[in-house]
Amino acid sequence: MATRSVALVSFLLAAVLVALGLTAAWSIATVNRSTETTAEATAALEAIAHLQRAVAGEAFAEAGYRRAPSAEARKRVETAITEVDRAVREASEVGNADDRIMLSYLQSVNDRYVAEVRRSLDDTDTGAPRNDRVAGPALDAIQELIDAAVRDHQRQVAVTRQQQRELLFQLAMVVISVLASSVATLVLCWSLLISHNRRLAAQAAEHERRSLHDALTGLANRDLLFRTIEKAFRAPNAAFSLLYIDLDHFKNINDTHGHPAGDRFLVEVARRVHASVRTTDLVARIGGDEFAVLSSTAADARQLACRIVAAVQSPIALDGTEVIPSLSVGIAVAPDDGRDCSALLHAADRALYLAKHAGRGRITGLRR
């Protein structure tokens, strides 16, 4: 179970990292494509707008020359023509396929216009009659083409920017959704880890409890008793008592009624002993039919023993037969009977031996 939980958490965390990585990569690629598209549309619009200004400058330079012919005015016309050629080339480099088709046609129309302008200017230089405007329809056609291209690219830029805003909004929603899912997954993983740790802690606590308690009666076992005695001795001015309790003639109960009945008998005796002591006292089962009570005080050890014997001596029904338990109790008091765990245990065992040797069913201490 623990392995499956760890594997599930690892899988979910890996899935979150992969989702975040893929989302980041997709987001970067999408934004880059959108930015490139917007930049291309803007560059094409700027190039066409520049061409529009160049053509207008070409017409303006020609008109200026016709109003006041001079070498300087003629030079301005040639410069304007060169600027139009350069603007056409630049627009072709950044424009799309439709732009290049339009620009190719515009270039041919402009070439005819320029040829007619130069011929007219040559006539003007030689004193031939002047026209106010040369190749008017061709120039109008050029300007109409450029105006239409500018309007088209303005629409494209507006549409591209609107699409980019919508894309960024959708992208934000996707990122928020992925982040929300990631947070939810991380919370789930955290919950699973906490649950797993709590389960391990509970298992460890249960294992600790079982290792320190008797499986049949649920009382403390020898290990817990010894640990508690050692802890009690570490307290300043330690003074407490230890009672060793033995069930008299318990073997006869097992032989007569069987071991299952004997176990029930032990459980009931353990319950009665535990119910007759204080909450600060520790009751332990240290052997088959032997119990121990570690009392937090030394003054009333004999009264405690009497109370335990009285509580246990009520009849216990076993397979339709009532059996009256009999107890022998040995009392050892710290620090008088022992100044460490081993010495106190030996003293309590010695007192119990004296109680049983005196005829069983007795309470005996080493000190009268």
Q: Can you spell out the DSSP letters for 288-329? A: SSEEEEEES-STTHHHHHHHHHHHHTS-EEETTEEE---EEE
- pLDDT for residue 126: 53
- pLDDT for residue 12: 65
* Terminal C-alpha separation, the chain: 59
Catalogue all structural domains in the chain, each as residue range(s) with its CATH number. Answer: 2-190 (1.20.120.1730), 222-365 (3.30.70.270)
How many helices (H) and strands (E) the chain has is answered by 9, 7
Give catalytic status of residue 123 as yes or no.
no
- pLDDT for residue 110: 77
The answer to whether the Cα torsion of 67, 73, 78, 80 is positive or negative is negative
186/280 Cα distance (integer angstroms): 45
Instruction: Compute the half-sphere exposure of residue 209: CA atoms within 13 Å on the CB side of its CA.
Output: 10
State the CB neighbour count (10 A cutoff) for residue 125: 12
Which of 308, 304, 303, 307 has its CA nearest to residue 273?
308
Q: Is the peptide bond before 335 cis (omega within 30 degrees of 0)?
A: yes
Q: What is the pLDDT of residues 208-241, one digit of tens each?
A: 888 899 999 999 999 999 999 999 999 998 899 9
- pLDDT for residue 131: 47
Encoded tokens for 325: 């338990």
Q: For residue 339, what are the contacts with CB-CB under 8 A and spacing of at least 6?
A: 233
Encoded tokens for 157: 């830029």
Q: Measuring CA to CA, how many Å separate 272 from each of 89, 230, 277, 307, 310?
A: 108, 26, 9, 10, 10
| Residue 6, SS3 per DSSP | helix
- pLDDT for residue 129: 44
Residues of the chain with pLDDT below 70 are 1-10, 12-13, 16-17, 20, 24, 27, 122-139, 367-368
Q: Is 7 exposed, middle or buried (0-12, 13-18, 19+ CB in 10 A)?
A: exposed
Which of 207, 241, 211 has its CA nearest to residue 223?
211
Which single residue is written with the structure tokens 């309790």? 245
Q: Which of 248, 289, 319, 340 is catalytic?
A: 289
- pLDDT for residue 96: 78
Which single residue is written with the structure tokens 């119910």? 275
Reported residue count of the chain is: 368
- pLDDT for residue 147: 78
Q: Is 98 exposed, middle or buried (0-12, 13-18, 19+ CB in 10 A)?
A: exposed
Residue 231 near residue 33, CB atoms below 8 Å: no
State the CB neighbour count (10 A cutoff) for residue 211: 10
- pLDDT for residue 59: 79
State the CB neighbour count (10 A cutoff) for residue 305: 25
- pLDDT for residue 291: 96
- pLDDT for residue 1: 52
- pLDDT for residue 128: 47
